[in-house]
Amino acid sequence: MTSRRHFIRTSSLGALGLALNQQSLADEPDYKFKPIVLSTWRHGLAANQAAWNIINSGGTALDAVEAGVSVTESDLTNMSVGLGGRPDRDGFVTLDACIMDHLSRCGSVAFLQHIEHPIQVARKVMDQTPHVMLVGEGAYQFALESGFKRFVGEVPTAKAKAAYDEWLKKGEYQPPANVENHDTIGMVALDSHGNLSGACTTSGLGYKMHGRVGDSPIIGAGLFVDNEVGAATATGVGEMVIRIAGAHTVVELMRHGASPQQACEEAIDRIIKKHPDVADKQVGFLAINRAGHTGAFGIRKGFQYAQQAETGVGLYDATSRL
Ligand code: SD4
């Protein structure tokens, strides 16, 4: 770890040169951008396909990430994204999401209930209001006014309710923070126009306190995009991500010369340094830059990410510090 930090410090000028080269390459009139979609966890495979369909037909990364993560939100068997998610400790399923585009426009909703597609509401916040973030009842009212319908199915789903009833037997105050109960989808994409966008959506940590909001809807924590540099998203224990302004940190490290991989590693190291006890805790970062280079890194083994590009489709194990 120390030697890698040392590497980043001592090689920053060289890396900066590389980053600038990539940047200036990408600014050449004939430069062909290499579109790519990257998202967290296995469910990213289906989400990426929907996103790729848009990007591959010349659409924008913004439309792609919105459509991509909407697939995951609609999957009621998924217990950590959308209305199929685990409830909070009081039995309510509350959803967080945000979206950001290449113009640094962004929109976000948090603590939203009864709406199938929080990411689409976040997009409307971005497109149709002067604000960035709406929460709770206000976000719900805005969704209804914008034409979204209250979901009529059973929430929590029977599967999530059974898991919740099981959890209630012990009802431990701290939500367990292992890899099984946090599978937010964060997606970042580069389109053929050379524009980056990202989206992030989750039901949050299972059995969280009522009213708790994690990193996922927070621009700069769960997601950050700067079209001059790159895009990053996070998954895992949101509190740990917020404490280092995770996704923004990754993008800023790239701005100062780190590759996407180096930036993800440095951000994870910062989290580990600030949290002496990371036992059972997971955080993972994903990043891309405009040259289409990627990075992925977790605190511990188990963090997987899905990637789709002209070169193919895959699910990969991210490297990790532990
Ligand atoms: C949260 N970061 O609410 C989310 C949970 C998560 O993968 O990412 N799960 O803290």
Closest atom of ligand 1 to 204 CA is: 3
Closest atom of ligand 1 to 41 CA is: 7
Domain ranges of the chain: 32-320
Instruction: Measure the CA dihedral 103/67/304/177, to 10°.
Output: 90
Q: What is the pLDDT of residue 274?
A: 96
How many A from CA of 283 to the centre of ligand 1? Answer: 8
Any residues with CB less than 8 A from the CB of 140 and at least 6 apart, and which?
A: 112, 113, 114, 115
Radius of gyration of the chain (CA): 19
Cβ atoms 149, 196 nearer than 8 A: no
| Choice among 184, 202, 235, 249 that is catalytic | 184
Question: What does the block give as tokens for 28?
Answer: 């050449």
Question: What does the block give as tokens for 278?
Answer: 């990371």
Ligand 1: residues with CB < 6 A are 80, 182-184, 202, 204-205, 214-216, 235-238
| C-beta atoms surrounding 309 within 10 Å | 19
Say if residue 156 is preceded by a cis peptide, omega within 30 of 0.
yes
- The one-digit pLDDT tens for each residue of the chain (322 residues) are 444 444 344 344 444 444 544 555 556 777 899 999 999 999 999 999 999 999 999 999 999 999 999 999 999 999 999 999 999 999 999 999 999 999 999 999 999 999 999 999 999 999 999 999 999 999 999 999 999 999 999 999 999 999 999 999 988 766 555 455 457 999 999 999 999 999 999 999 999 999 999 999 999 999 999 999 999 999 999 999 999 999 999 999 999 999 999 999 999 999 999 998 898 899 999 999 999 999 999 999 999 999 999 999 999 999 999 9
Q: What is the pLDDT of residue 26?
A: 58
Strands ordered across the beta sheet of 294-298: 223-226, 230-236, 283-289, 294-298, 319-320
Reply yes or no on whether 184 is catalytic: yes
Distance CA 260, CA 273 (A): 20
Q: What is the pLDDT of residue 181?
A: 46
Residue that the structure tokens 């920053």 belong to:
12
* pTM score above 0.85: yes
- CATH architecture of the domain 32-320 equals 4-Layer Sandwich (3.60)
How many A from CA of 121 to the centre of ligand 1? Answer: 19
User: Each residue of 104-137: b (16+ CB within 10 Å) or e?
Assistant: eebbbbbbbbbbbbbbbbbbbbbeeeeebbbbee
